[in-house]
Structure 1
Amino acid sequence: MTNHDLPKSIHDMPGLIPLQLMPENMESPINTLLSWITPNELFYTRNHLVYPTIQLESWALFLGGEVDNPINLTYDQLKQMPQVDRFVTIECSGNKRALMEPSTPGEQWQIGAVGNAKWTGVPLAYILDQTKVKETAKELIFTGVDSGIRPDMDTVVNFERSLPLDKTLMAECILALKMNDEPIPHKHGFPLRLIVPGWYGMAHVKWVSQITATATPFKGPFQAIDYLYITNDGDSLNAAPVTEMKVNSIITWPSQEEKLHLGSHTIRGLAWTGKGTISGVEVSIDSGMTWNAARLTSPEHEPYTWTFWEYSLNITAPGHYFLQVRAQDSNGNVQPKVAPWNAKGYGNNSIHQIPINVPQILH
């Protein structure tokens, strides 16, 4: 795929909400987040750089650095290795940025930069065993083929991210070849995408072509400049890195400013978290003064995947209401009313609320 294959107009992309065309950044409309598996064509896209051109015949995955056995692996060789499935929800760390106050720079995502998919690929730990990583190695750097010039730099850079060489984390990660039982679409990382269950989307490096074991902390721009929780003091050197997803939830029905009639309604939505599972969801219709438990309805209640919920609401009086939702996970984390502000608008897991209107019936 080349840049000439990209859409020339936002009207060429039915189903996705465009935030930016070059590089492409698109979020999923809420009315498309209704199935447990998000269809590939409706999965949000997040890019810092333009889509790369991949020639599969010459592409290979190189593993080197602090290893005893550097190796090159072709696409066919990867397909012949043991494969596992992982159902994983991926949320952009900038999801809900448009709702953060005061406002912050960056793509103004609403609530649709999230999706759930079945990923199939080679366990990362299996490949690391082949390379015999040295004890001196502390991190793995994952390099994507996508490259370009950042607005704050005058040199060409690749999208690169590192992960700590943690045994538990390494055991969960896979190098995915398929998305929802199909070869990963180009815009989602073909031929190879790193999947890091429980982490925000920036960790799931697309178009991976190189893995480098390193003994020193990685300081690339997408690690040391971006994806840091920089607070009011502006201290980026001591800012915490963006890693695991925070517990979060959204209302998928009704939509904002929906007019509802008096009587019974089934409120629906999604909830997810980075580590553990969703243990409960609560709904309020009185601005958070009282909360009532919703029913978790997902048939598949697995770690690293989102959960569907429903709440039976009986409206007895006309008026304007604020419908709110909050989730709790199995580690005791509860969504805050307002998430801590940070300079780049990452990790906004504030309680989701929408106004609804119940008009008075005139006789």
Structure 2
Amino acid sequence: MNQDLPRSINDKPGLIPRQVMPENLESPINNVLTWVTPNELFYTRSHLTYPTIDMHSWRLSIGGEVSRPLYFNYEQLKQMPQVDKFVTIECSGNKRAMFEPPVPGEQWKLGAVGNAKWTGVPLTFLLDQIKPKDTAVEIVFTGADSGIRPDMDTPVNFERSLPLDKTLLGECLLALKMNDEPIPYKHGFPLRLIVPGWYGMAHVKWVTQIGFVSNPFKGPFQAIDYVYLTNEGDYSNAVPVTEMKVNSIITWPSKGEIIHPGQHSVRGLAWTGKGTISNVEISVDNGMSWNVAKLTSPEHGQYTWTFWEYAWNITNPGHYFVLARAHDSNGNVQPKAAPWNAKGYGNNSIHTVAITIPQILH
């Protein structure tokens, strides 16, 4: 059993604390056995303290470099056309704890990822009602969460921008529901931006404002955080964190597990950003040879993860290193080691699990 997991009163695995304030909780990913992650097991990523939401006064404002600002309350948004999208969201810091040498930040292991059904208003339905000025170059999404960053003296809101890219914006949702329920408070109630294929920082929670801007956005959660840096503090060659990389994890067996000879099913998850998982390969000899696993999810659509399984007939005792390597439809393959970066983003290195097969004594 994974000793990292907190147990609840009914002995079911719960979320794993990675930071207390602000609260950051990791999914017990080895125990997520359903294609859709239950809301109560979906990882929680917070940058600032949770906001206070007053639904009597809450509204979404859309303005900035537009000819006609608009405002909508919650009931008006609920009356708009709604669509469903299954989207996997991964924190860009997932697997940060596995970088060598270590990097600062929340020490996520494998569980800062989840798959959910998101229901909401297509972003383009709202944007079609707005006439942006020719000066507009980006759209900034502002969350209600605010606080003081360690590197700043004045309070800031969590804000992120997206480029005016019709293809990208055409995929986005302003979600009101998560797995057929109003979005839980900790996941962004009443309104959360969903940017399929992008890492979690783009999926702004508690959205209260959408603003068109005439200059590239340089907020701290975009220009300071969520950039790939070769050297800490050196932003001269900073590259923005955007789309998720092809990735996979082994959910069974777990590290250090002792299993006996016989037929076993190695299981796991795989996902990518833009595209679909085309195949997953498994190695039981530390990468010397590879075998194709079976994709077992009900859907293998774009933007969602897939379960996979591999039948392994173990005949000889000993120590084994089991590896999983995913490929996507765009030709991307997981690397043995992801490029190290000073902030610990985008670790999609091949997951390795060490197990022991004991000698059976007669």
For normalisation by structure 2, the TM-score amounts to 0.96
1:253 aligns to 2:255 (yes or no): no
Give yes or no for contact 1:262–1:315 (8 Å, CA) kept in 2: yes
Deviations 1:174-207 (A, max 9, x none): 1000000000000000000000000000000000
Measure the CA separation in 2 of the matches of 1:127 and 1:237.
37
1:235 aligns to 2:210 (yes or no): no
Measure the CA separation in 2 of the matches of 1:291 and 1:239.
35
The alpha carbon displacement at 1:19 in A equals 0.8
- Residue matched to 1:150: 149
Give yes or no for contact 1:10–1:18 (8 Å, CA) kept in 2: no
1:215 aligns to 2:204 (yes or no): no
SS in 1 for 2:127: helix
Task: Within 5 Å, give how 1:15-94 maps onto structure 2.
Answer: 15-94=14-93
Measure the CA separation in 1 of the matches of 2:152 and 2:320.
47
Q: Which runs of 5+ in 1 are unaligned?
A: 1-8
Give yes or no for contact 1:32–1:42 (8 Å, CA) kept in 2: no
The alpha carbon displacement at 1:33 in A equals 2.0
- Residue matched to 2:294: 295
The alpha carbon displacement at 1:10 in A equals 10
Give yes or no for contact 1:33–1:115 (8 Å, CA) kept in 2: no
Measure the CA separation in 1 of the matches of 2:88 and 2:61.
27
Measure the CA separation in 2 of the matches of 1:192 and 1:132.
22
SS in 1 for 2:201: helix
Measure the CA separation in 2 of the matches of 1:153 and 1:307.
40
Q: Which runs of 5+ in 2 are unaligned?
A: 1-5
- Residue matched to 2:306: 307
Task: Within 5 Å, give how 1:1-363 maps onto structure 2.
Answer: 15-232=14-231, 234-363=233-362
The alpha carbon displacement at 1:134 in A equals 2.2
Identity of aligned residues (%): 74
Measure the CA separation in 1 of the matches of 2:185 and 2:236.
35
Measure the CA separation in 1 of the matches of 2:231 and 2:316.
43
Aligned partner letter, 2:36: I
The alpha carbon displacement at 1:235 in A equals 2.7
Distance 1:38 1:106, change over 3 A: same
Give yes or no for contact 1:62–1:211 (8 Å, CA) kept in 2: yes
The alpha carbon displacement at 1:353 in A equals 0.6
Aligned partner letter, 2:175: A
Measure the CA separation in 2 of the matches of 1:146 and 1:23.
11
The alpha carbon displacement at 1:260 in A equals 1.1
Give yes or no for contact 2:140–2:212 (8 Å, CA) kept in 1: yes
Measure the CA separation in 2 of the matches of 1:64 and 1:30.
40
The alpha carbon displacement at 1:14 in A equals 5.9
- Residue matched to 1:5: none
Give yes or no for contact 1:10–1:21 (8 Å, CA) kept in 2: no
SS in 1 for 2:75: helix
The alpha carbon displacement at 1:324 in A equals 0.4
Point out the more displaced range, 185-194 or 14-23. Answer: 14-23
SS in 1 for 2:25: strand
Measure the CA separation in 1 of the matches of 2:313 and 2:99.
31
Measure the CA separation in 2 of the matches of 1:305 and 1:11.
29
Distance 1:10 1:53, change over 3 A: farther
Aligned residues: 355
Measure the CA separation in 2 of the matches of 1:64 and 1:264.
60
Distance 1:93 1:54, change over 3 A: same
- Residue matched to 2:3: none
The alpha carbon displacement at 1:126 in A equals 0.7
Point out the more displaced range, 253-262 or 131-140. Answer: 131-140
Measure the CA separation in 2 of the matches of 1:125 and 1:132.
12
Give yes or no for contact 1:89–1:114 (8 Å, CA) kept in 2: yes
Aligned partner letter, 2:358: P
The alpha carbon displacement at 1:315 in A equals 1.1
SS in 2 for 1:130: coil
Measure the CA separation in 2 of the matches of 1:113 and 1:329.
20
Aligned partner letter, 1:259: I
SS in 1 for 2:128: helix
Distance 1:155 1:103, change over 3 A: same
The alpha carbon displacement at 1:232 in A equals 3.4
- Residue matched to 1:6: none
Point out the more displaced range, 83-92 or 28-37. Answer: 28-37
Measure the CA separation in 2 of the matches of 1:196 and 1:227.
15
SS in 1 for 2:103: coil
Deviations 1:51-73 (A, max 9, x none): 11100110000000111110011
SS in 2 for 1:202: helix
Displaced runs of 4 or more, over 3 A: 9-14
- Residue matched to 1:3: none
The alpha carbon displacement at 1:234 in A equals 4.8
The alpha carbon displacement at 1:120 in A equals 0.4
Measure the CA separation in 2 of the matches of 1:321 and 1:209.
51
- Residue matched to 1:4: none
- The CA RMSD measured in Å over matched residues stands at 1.5
Measure the CA separation in 2 of the matches of 1:176 and 1:243.
20
Aligned partner letter, 1:103: P
